[in-house]
Structure 1
Amino acid sequence: MKFNFLGILGIICVLFSSSVFAQDDAVPVDKIIAKVDNNIILLSDVEAGYQQMLSNGQYPKDKKKAKCDILKGLVVNKIMYAKAQIDSIEVDDARVADELERRMQYFILQAGSQEKLEKTLGASVNDLRDDLRDQVKEQMTVQTMQQQIIAGVTITPKQVKKYYESIPKDSIPFLAAEVKVGQIVREPKVSESEKEKARQQLVDIKKRIEAGEDFGVLAKQYSQDYGSARKGGDLGWHGRGELVPEFEEIALTIDPNEIADPVESDFGFHLIQLLERRGGRFRARHILIRPKSNYQDIQDAVTFLDSIRTLIAESDTLGFEKAVNLYSDDQPTRANAGYFKNQVTGSSYMATDELDPVVFFAIDTMKIGNTSKPLKYRTEDGQQAVRIIYYSNYKPPHYANLKDDYQKLQQATLNSQKNEILEKWIKQAKNDVFIEIDPEYDDCNLLDSI
Structure 2
Amino acid sequence: MRKLGLSLLNILLVLSVAQAQTKRTLDKIAAVVGGNIVLQSDIELQYAQYIVSGQQPNPAIKCVILQNQLTQKLLAQQAVIDSVQVKDEEVDAEVDRRMRSFMQRAGGQEKLEQFLGRSVIQYKDEMRPDIKESLIAQRMRAKITEKVNTTPLDVKNYFDKIPKDSIPTYNKEVEVGEIVFQPKLTREEKESAKQKITELRERVKKGEDFATLAGLYSQDGSAAEGGDLGFFDRQQMAKEFTANAFRLKAGEISPVFETEFGFHFLQVIERRGETVHARHIIIIPAITDASLERTHKLADSVYKAMLAVKNFDFSSAAAYYSDDKETKYNGGMMLNADNVQTRTTYIPTNKLDPQVALVVDTMKVGSISKPQLFTDAQTGKKSYKILYLKSATNAHKANLEQDFAKLKDAATNEKLNRTIAQWFDKRRSETYIRIDPEFQSCDILKSWITASKKDNAQAKTTE
TM-score (norm 1): 0.69
Displacement after TM superposition at 1:361 (Å)? 2.5
Corresponding position of 2:91 = 92
Aligned pairs for 1:300-311 within 5 A: 300-311=294-305
Query: What is the alpha-carbon distance in structure 1 between the residues aligned to residue 49 and residue 240 of structure 2?
Result: 49
Q: Give secondary structure in 1 for the equivalent of 2:447.
A: helix
2:205 and 2:150 map into 1 onto residues whose CA distance is 60
Asked if 2 retains the 8 angstrom alpha-carbon contact of 1:80 and 1:145, the reply is no
List per-residue Cα deviations over 1:389-421 (Å, max 9, x = no partner): 322222123332222111112111211111112
Instruction: Name which of 394, 404, 407 aligns with 2:405.
Output: 407
Q: Does 1:40 align with 2:43?
A: yes
2:152 is aligned to: 157
CA distance, structure 2, for counterparts of residue 102 and residue 439 of structure 1? 31
Residues 1:249 and 2:243 aligned together: yes
Cα distance between partner residues in 2 of 1:273 and 1:49: 34
Instruction: Name the CA distance, whole Å, in 1 between partners of 2:403 and 2:207.
Output: 64
1:239 deviates by 5.0
Q: How far, CA to CA, are the matches of 2:437 and 2:388 in structure 1? A: 54
Determine the structure 1 residue equivalent to 2:266.
Answer: 272
Could you say which structure has the higher helix fraction?
Answer: 2
Q: Tell which deviates more after alignment, 271-280 or 242-251.
A: 271-280
Give, in whole Å, the separation in 2 of the partners of 1:49 and 1:272: 33
| 1:419-434 matched pairs, under 5 angstroms | 419-428=417-426, 431=431, 434=434
Partner of 2:157, secondary structure, is helix
Superposed CA RMSD? 4.6
Counterparts of residues 194-273 of structure 1 (less than 5 Å)? 194-227=189-222, 229-238=223-232, 240-254=234-248, 257-273=251-267
Percentage of matched positions with identical amino acids: 32
Uncovered stretches (5+) of structure 1, i.e. residues with no partner: 1-18, 23-29, 53-66, 108-122
- 1:447 maps to 447
SS of structure 1 residue aligned to 2:199: helix
Instruction: Quote the offset at 1:217 in angstroms.
Output: 2.8
Distance 1:50 1:275 in 2: 34
Instruction: Report matched runs for 1:24-423 at 5 Å.
Output: 37-38=38-39, 39-40=42-43, 76-83=67-74, 92-98=91-97, 101=100, 124=107, 141=135, 146-151=141-146, 153-227=148-222, 229-238=223-232, 240-254=234-248, 257-275=251-269, 282-342=276-336, 343-344=338-339, 346-373=343-370, 374-378=372-376, 380-423=378-421
Q: Relative to structure 1, is the Cα distance of residues 178 and 283 closer, same or farther in structure 2, using a 3 angstrom cutoff?
A: closer
Query: What residue ranges of structure 2 are gaps of 5+ in the alignment?
Result: 1-6, 11-17, 32-37, 117-123, 451-463
Amino acid at match of 1:92: V
Max radius of gyration: which structure?
2
Q: Contact 1:256–1:277 (CA<8 Å) still a contact in 2?
A: yes
Give the Cα–Cα distance (whole angstroms) in 1 for the partners of residues 443 and 101 of structure 2. 40
Please state how far the C-alpha of 1:433 moved relative to its aligned partner. 5.1
Number of equivalences: 391
- Deviation at residue 283 of structure 1 after TM alignment: 4.6
Task: Output the CA distance in 2 between the equivalents of 1:394 and 1:376.
Answer: 22
1:235 is displaced (CA, Å) by: 4.0
Moved more, 282-291 or 320-329: 282-291
**In the TM superposition, what is the alpha-carbon distance from 1:312 to its structure 2 partner?**
2.9
Change (3 A) 1:404 1:318: same
Cα drift, residue 270 of structure 1? 1.9
Letter in 2 for 1:312: M
**CA positional deviation for 1:200:** 1.4
How far, CA to CA, are the matches of 2:148 and 2:379 in structure 1?
Answer: 34
Deviations 1:176-218 (A, max 9, x none): 3222222222221123223222221122122212322223332
The superposition leaves residues 336-374 of structure 1 with CA deviations (integer Å, 9 ceiling, x where unpaired) of 322232233532222222222232222223332333331
When structure 1 is superposed on structure 2, of 139-148 and 315-324 the one drifting more is 139-148
C-alpha contact (below 8 Å) 1:72/1:446 kept by paired residues: no
Q: 2:102 touches 2:112 (CA, 8 Å); kept in 1?
A: no
1:177 maps to a residue whose letter is K
Please say if residues 176 and 397 of structure 1, whose CA atoms lie closer than 8 Å, have aligned partners that are also in contact: yes
Contact 2:63–2:445 under 8 Å retained in 1: no
CA distance in 1: counterparts of 2:210 and 2:93, whole angstroms: 20
